[in-house]
């Protein structure tokens, strides 16, 4: 662990502390994914894509569990590393994936987000690789939502056991983050200006680990829009609670189609930081 990684995160005024979603995999003896009685959904094993290791050396990350678990800086940390998914986000598709923080985040940054292939795979400096330019959008464990070296929005952040959800609408070009399946608001609306986008995670912390626990997509259609509109109304929710049997399994596997959105397209006022964004 590098000396620089012992620093505490930047404090906030009136900070809301991050929370874990569950305690799945809390025991070192567990060898099965998730707990069937838990609502996190790991036991479903619905993961349409995997993480992909960088081709260039040095590789500051390792993959396990068929590419679902990424461990950054397995020996020691010498800077910042980024790993992206092996999928390109297509136009006119809706995507949702969930990443569970498996270790206690610390140091300069641990981030989840979306970016182009221009994001550096390794940087010999302790910095935030995601959200550090126009090419990426990221959520930090500190709660900062960043793009182009700016903190454009704020949320509680995440800790060990938190589920970080990423909702990308490649028909409208929007991005919304979720924490433990609670919406944090539509923060970005300009994703369609990029030719290619990928899911990405990054970290500066030694032995930090994140697991891809769910990943699904659905082509934009009248059904998708209808499901979201039903979820947003009281009468619609009653319909969804009494769906025809043929739709129950589909909606169970693609539960995110009816997840509520905070519905904001303008960033909410950001809580004042005690110090400026030192990560950049």
Residues 6+ apart with CB under 8 A from 63: 50, 51, 53, 69, 70, 71, 83
Is residue 133 included in any domain, yes or no? Answer: yes
Among the listed residues 81, 85, 279, the one whose alpha carbon sits nearest the alpha carbon of residue 200: 85
Q: Which residues pair with 212 in a beta bridge?
A: 99
Asked if 143 and 258 count as a contact pair (C-beta separation under 8 A), the reply is no
User: What is the rounded distance in angstroms from the CA atom of residue 33 to the CA atom of residue 124?
Assistant: 34
Q: In this structure, is residue 237 part of a structural domain?
A: no
In a domain, residue 269? The reply is no
Find, among 140, 108, 112, the residue nearest to 124 by Cα.
108
Q: Is residue 173 part of a domain?
A: yes
Q: How many domains does the chain have?
A: 1
pLDDT tens, N- to C-terminus, the chain (280 residues): 443 444 444 444 335 778 888 777 565 554 455 555 666 777 778 999 999 988 775 679 999 999 999 999 999 998 999 999 999 999 999 999 999 999 999 999 999 999 999 999 999 999 999 999 999 999 999 999 999 999 999 899 999 999 999 999 999 999 999 999 999 988 899 999 999 999 999 999 999 999 999 999 999 888 777 777 776 666 666 666 777 777 777 777 888 888 878 765 554 444 433 323 434 3
Contact 110, 241 (CB under 8 A): no
Determine, yes or no, domain membership for 214. Answer: yes
176, part of any domain: yes
Q: How long a stretch of residues is the chain?
A: 280
| Distance separating alpha carbons of residues 43 and 14, to the nearest angstrom | 36
Give the residue numbers spanning the domain of 152. 3-220
Let me know the angle formed at the C-alpha of 148 by 76 and 57, rounded to the nearest 5 degrees.
Answer: 35
**Domain assignment present for 255:** no
Q: In the numeric block, which tokens belong to residue 88?
A: 């390109």
* pTM as predicted: 0.84
């Amino acid at each position: 662990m590098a000396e620089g990684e012992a620093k505490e995160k930047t404090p906030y005024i009136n900070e809301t502390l991050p929370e874990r979603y569950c305690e799945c995999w809390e025991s070192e003896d567990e060898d099965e994914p998730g707990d069937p009685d838990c609502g996190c959904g790991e036991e479903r094993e619905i993961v349409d894509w995997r993480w992909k290791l960088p081709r260039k050396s040095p590789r500051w990350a390792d993959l396990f569990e068929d590419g679902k678990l990424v461990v950054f800086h397995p020996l020691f940390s010498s800077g910042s590393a980024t790993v992206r998914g092996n999928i390109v986000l297509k136009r006119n598709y809706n995507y949702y994936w969930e990443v569970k923080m498996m270790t206690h985040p610390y140091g300069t940054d641990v981030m989840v987000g979306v970016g182009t292939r221009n994001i550096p795979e390794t940087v010999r400096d302790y910095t935030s690789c995601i959200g550090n330019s126009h090419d990426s959008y990221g959520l930090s464990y500190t709660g900062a939502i960043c793009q182009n070296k700016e903190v454009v929005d704020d949320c509680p952040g995440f800790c060990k056991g938190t589920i970080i959800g990423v909702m990308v609408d490649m028909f409208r070009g929007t991005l919304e983050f979720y924490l433990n399946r609670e919406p944090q608001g539509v923060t970005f609306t300009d994703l369609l200006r990029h030719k290619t986008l990928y899911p990405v995670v990054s970290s500066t912390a030694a032995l930090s680990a994140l697991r891809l626990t769910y990943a699904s997509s659905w082509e934009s259609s009248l059904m998708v829009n209808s499901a979201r509109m039903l979820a947003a109304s009281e009468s619609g929710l009653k319909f969804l609670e009494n769906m025809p049997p043929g739709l129950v399994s589909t909606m169970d596997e693609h539960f995110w189609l009816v997840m509520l959105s905070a519905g904001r397209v303008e960033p909410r006022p950001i809580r004042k930081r005690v110090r400026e964004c030192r990560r950049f």
